[in-house]
Chains A and B, each alone.
Chain A
Amino acid sequence: MEIELVLSALKVIGYGLGAIGPGVGIGLACYGCCVGTARQPEVQGRLFTNFIIGAALAEALALIGFVLAFIL
């Protein structure tokens, strides 16, 4: 019981640690998208597409952590 509790707590902590990087990454991507759009509103469409691709790539890491927390 005790060990199981510790293990499940460790899984959640691991997921939390894994979510830090993607959080920073998506924040940076969003910052870049906003700043770029403010400077040059006419390229908003292309910037937004790249932002979505970048956010999806960064988010993949957090999602892998999410899956691992479930299956381990």
Chain B
Amino acid sequence: MDALEQLSHHAQELQESFNSTIVIGSSTFGMTQYVLWMVICWIITCVVVLTVARKLTLVPTNKFVNTVEYGYQFVRNDMGEGIIGHGFKKHVPFLATLFFFILVSNFVGLIPGCKTPTGTISVTWALATLSFVYFNWCGIKAHGGLGYIKSIAPSGLPAPMVPVIWFFELISLILRWLTLAVRLYGNMFAGHMVLGIFALATGIFLTTGIEAMSPTAGISVAWFALLLVMYALETLVAFLQAYVFTVLTAVYISLATSAH
């Protein structure tokens, strides 16, 4: 079989391997592989953060503690203080939890053999729902129920324009929910798909080239170089998506709570 034909054949198998399959229990009460990895990521996050919290000292000497503290400081200063501004302190725990959990989830998926929990739409929907409920709740607490509904439209508009702008702002408010979920899912899913295709191409071109004793086996070196480049890019994207998700949550909180 031709190498390209084999590649398209295996690419379908690869795509099917991304579907949720039940690994523990039955379909009524059980876990898919993504939920299993989500629990693992949750345990990793808890273990890392709690061990660091027990070893906190005024002057950090432990390198590991220092690293995690830097991450927390990053969330607190860049995302909390920089974006929410006044009264950011009560939002920092939520933001830090989101950031660390998504960061761990994204990086776990980069280890070969592991699945990324954020590579499925159900997990990202859950995260986006948490964020959506949280920032709306903050807005309702800051303005009161009716005041929050009114504050969706920016103030200072001419009176006849208010209902129209309010309606558009409402759509954009609901779209935030969708985009938070789909952005994370799309980036993770597409990235792992690309990595999988390049890894498949490396193997297939190598084996077919050696079988046919032709110099096309050399192409697999190029595929492998591309795979390494994409892997580096995916490492960046894994961090960036955790950052973007948290920053956007912070931005939405500040938009919901600020007086227009």
A contacts, CB < 8 Å to B? 45, 49, 52-53, 56-57, 59-60, 63-64, 66-67
Contact = CB atoms under 8 A, between A and B. Distances in A.
A49 B82 contact: yes
Q: Which of B82, B182, B247 has the most CB of A within 10 A?
A: B182
Given A52-B244, A52-B247, A56-B251, 7 more contacts: A52-B248, A57-B172, A60-B175, A60-B179, A64-B175, A66-B182, A67-B178
Contacts of B52: none
A4 B186 CA distance: 23
Question: For chain B, what secondary structure do more than half of its interface residues adopt (helix, strand, loop), or is it mixed?
Answer: helix
A56 B248 contact: yes
Contacts of B172: 57, 60
20 contacts: A45-B82, A49-B82, A52-B244, A52-B247, A52-B248, A56-B176, A56-B244, A57-B172, A59-B179, A59-B183, A60-B172, A60-B175, A60-B178, A63-B178, A63-B179, A63-B182, A63-B183, A64-B178, A66-B186, A67-B182
Interface residues of B, number: 14
Nearest to B250: A49
A67 B248 CA distance: 20
Contact of B251 (A45, A49, A63): A49
Given A63-B186, A66-B186, A56 B82 contact: no
Nearest to A52: B247
A45 B254 CA distance: 14
B3 interface: no
Contacts, number: 32
A23 to B, nearest CB: 14
Contacts of A64: 175, 178
Nearest to A60: B179
9 shortest A-B CB distances, which residue pairs? A63-B182, A60-B179, A63-B179, A45-B82, A60-B175, A49-B83, A66-B186, A52-B247, A56-B248
Contacts of A60: 172, 175, 178-179
Interface in B120-177: 172, 175-176
Contacts of A56: 176, 179, 244, 248, 251
B193 to A, nearest CB: 13
Contacts of A52: 244, 247-248, 251
Contacts of B175: 60, 64
Nearest to B180: A56
A56 B252 CA distance: 11
Contacts of B183: 59, 63
